[in-house]
Structure 1
């Protein structure tokens, strides 16, 4: 068995060194620099790092468990076919990390910065983020489940062919995120700001939004079902070739929304304001509207179905136009 501390005493941080089929356990590092090391088929367990710098490290077919990082910098690290479990990060900076075919479970991040990270064919489960900044992250063919975000900033993230389930966001800012061919289910947002998000060929189901602001979002060829909005502001949203079903809005403001070639069914609005909405080549069915204001709406090439199932109570209509 190798002693990593002895290795670092012998080799300079600028020299490359490879460890194969090694086990490192019950070690602590304080104010250390670890660089240019590669690990293959290794086991790392019960390690603690404080005020350390880790750079240009590569891990292949490794197991990392019960590791803690405090006030550390991690840069230019790569992980392939690795298992990472029970890791904690506090006041750390993580940059230029890549993960391929990895499993990440039971990880916690507090007051951390995560930038320029890429994930391919990975599984991420039971991760928590508090007061963190996440920027320029990409996810491809990944599964993300049971993740929680509190007081976090998420910007310039891309998701392709991913599954996102059981995620919660509280007091977070989400900006410039793109989703392509993704499935999003059982997500909750509270007191969040969502801006400049795009969704293409995605499925969104069982999502809840409370006291949130949603602006400049676009949806193309998407399915949205079982979504609820309470005390939210929705502005500058566009929907093209989408299906929207079983959506409820309470005490919300909806402005500058456009719908093209969409199907809308089983939607309910209570104490809402709807302004500057446009509908083109759409179908409406089973809508319930109570105590609302409608202003400056345009309808073109539409179909109203199940008129007996549309109900309107205590509302105001102004500046509506209908064509074909």
Structure 2
């Protein structure tokens, strides 16, 4: 059940949190999910704040929400102030004997399956007062603007102004297909051969189609493949390859069992070298909560614990 806006969340402080959440998401419903209140409560809070201030903060239509000039100015001033208040509250909360509170993580689906899933049960048993809120998407959004404590992405996708903790040293992709598909269509021997094959494409949440990247002996090839199927779920891509629909290009840890069981075979293996791995990252100027420090310690036991600066 959604919480009422009046349950210990009334007053200007919560109104400011609502305003910044709507400003970040440009969406009332998304803000309601983040703050765990009803969309009508979000709308009421924004309207009340606008009435008290005597200015319109958002342009609203049935299709979009955007900040007015006054809203942009208020958001610019409020963000650092609210961040300082949040950091101060985190510091007080960390005086407790055990880490507690919510840790919001944004990660790709592959990163969750490879890194977080194997340790979730152990972490939550050891830190029962910590609540993990994990959002999987492929947008590579701004974790600060969207209210996340940290993100988990490929090292090459981590913004330069973030503190990064390397979790996996290297990652390798695999081009795979079923034995039946290869028997009927043949095996590609160089990346350009993929243009004559049915490929299972991957679409990012942004709408962009992933272009397959290969390299060998310093020669890089980027192939804009075509095929009968485009998906946003890499596990479904693996299943589709097993079903003989075409060739898939996915992180190799997702196909370990299928390769071992003979359901899939690698192609273009010499064109699929490892590249810099996966990092957890967080804002360099934000206070790091005890809950996030505990998660980093669990993910990387030997990582120097200098993450609370």
Normalised TM-score (structure 1): 0.22
More helix by share: 2
Q: Quick check: which has more Rg, 1 or 2?
A: 1
Using CA pairs below 8 Å that are at least 6 residues apart, which structure has the higher relative contact order? 2
From the two aligned structures, give the one with the greater strand fraction. Answer: 1
